[in-house]
Structure 1
Amino acid sequence: MQSIYLAGPEVFLPNAMEILTKAKKLCDTFGFRAFSPFDGEPTDKLELAKAKQIFKENISLINQCDILIANCNPFRGACVDDGTAFEIGYAYSKGKRIFGYLNDKRILPEIVKSKIHTISHPSGYAIDDDGYLLNEDFGNSINLMLEFSILDSGGDLVLGDLKTVLNLLKSRS
């Protein structure tokens, strides 16, 4: 049975355990064993030490899995959760197959403009309030480093949700 690591910002939801338990059960119905970031066992009570343990446990879980599935929807802004982005990059470096899903496949500049304030700039690109140009206009829906990590791994970035990815995986087996 192939195993999956579920990456995404769901860990920050008030009902995170319930959401991730349902996601793991869904994976099971498709014939996959799933792990979530909550499957690690941090034991340290000191906050920084506990955070380091969580990091190490999540790395270990990714190492054990065959596939990483990432929720690539914007989180606290216009882009993928930074922890999820790291997990995608780490999984790619380990040769794991990666799949991502999102509910909006417009190009990244359009997504950013819908989430944060931008104004016109003489360069022809929009510029945000921090002075950064919105010039990542390559047709991607997420940062190109993430999207091409997913695609180059043999995975796919799909419009939909976890179930959409699981259906895709099942159709490819």
Structure 2
Amino acid sequence: MPSLYLAGPEVFLPNGFEVLQNNKKLCEAKGHVAYTPLDGEMPSGLQRDLSMAKWIFESNCELIRKSDIIIANCNFFRGACVDDGTAFEIGYGFSLGKRIWGYRDHLVPLHEITAKIISTKPHDAGYRIDQEGYLLNEDFGNSINLMLEFSILQSGGKLILGGFEEVLKELN
């Protein structure tokens, strides 16, 4: 069975460790080995500074390299976009030829979602702005950034409506 890397913003949840451990158990019940961003063994004495951040980055990249498939939580996080760390993990996995599966609890086209921009003269910059001063997102019918969506699709995976367990059902 293929090994899985579980990408997503769960690491930021108050109960993130438990959520990820539960997801790993679900994977193991289906015969998969699963890795999460919290799986690396942090060296003792590492300070909470850029050296820790660098270690987290390198550890997660190594876990992605040793995985066959990435399962990415593509739900909105800190606004109307996929978590930026998850976006990197999708792109990095795609560059390595990994198959990627994404999931969302709703598939609303991005053009229906707006993001506030900070600019004194947004019209001068050539942006498409709505009447409330918000930047209009891409309007191609995709529900996440086109670079992420096509990384998922061209990798041989899917972006599905549902949650983590629905991806596992489709993988088996």
CA distance in 2, matches of 1:162, 1:54: 23
**Deviation (angstroms), 1:127:** 3.8
One-letter identity of the residue aligned with 2:4: I
Q: Hey, what's the Cα distance between the residues in 1 that align with 2:167 and 2:48?
A: 37
Equivalent residue number for residue 144 of structure 1: 146
State the superposition RMSD in angstroms.
2.2
User: How many residues matched?
Assistant: 163
- Looking at structure 1, the residues matched to 162 and 138 of structure 2 have their Cα atoms a distance apart, in angstroms, of 23
For residue 21 of structure 1, report the CA deviation from its aligned partner: 0.3
1:76-135 deviation per Cα after TM superposition (whole angstroms, max 9, x unaligned) = 00000000000000000000000000011010122x24xx569xx8x9x54497x66314
Q: Residue 69 of structure 1 contacts residue 98 of structure 1 at CA under 8 Å; is this kept in 2?
A: yes
Ranges in structure 1 where 5+ consecutive residues have no aligned partner = none
SS at structure 2 position matched to 1:85: helix
For each residue in 1:51-83, what CA deviation from the matched residue of structure 2 results, as whole angstroms up to 9, or x when unmatched? 100000000000000000000000000000000
1: CA distance, partners of 2:168 / 2:137: 33
1:10 aligns to what?
A: 10
Contact 2:75 2:105 in 1 (8 A): yes
Q: Gaps (5+ residues) in structure 2?
A: 118-122
User: Secondary structure of the equivalent of 1:133?
Assistant: strand
Q: Which residue of 2 aligns with 1:21?
A: 21
Higher helix share: 1
- The TM-score, its normalising length taken from structure 2, stands at 0.87
> Structure 1: how far apart are the matches of 2:102 and 2:131?
27
- 1:24 and 1:127 mapped to 2: Cα distance? 43
User: Does the aligned pair in 2 maintain the 1:150–1:156 contact within 8 Å?
Assistant: yes
Residue aligned with 1:146, SS: helix
- SS, match of residue 59 in structure 1: helix
Identity of aligned residues (%): 59
Q: Structure 1 residue runs of 4+, over 3 Å off?
A: 125-129
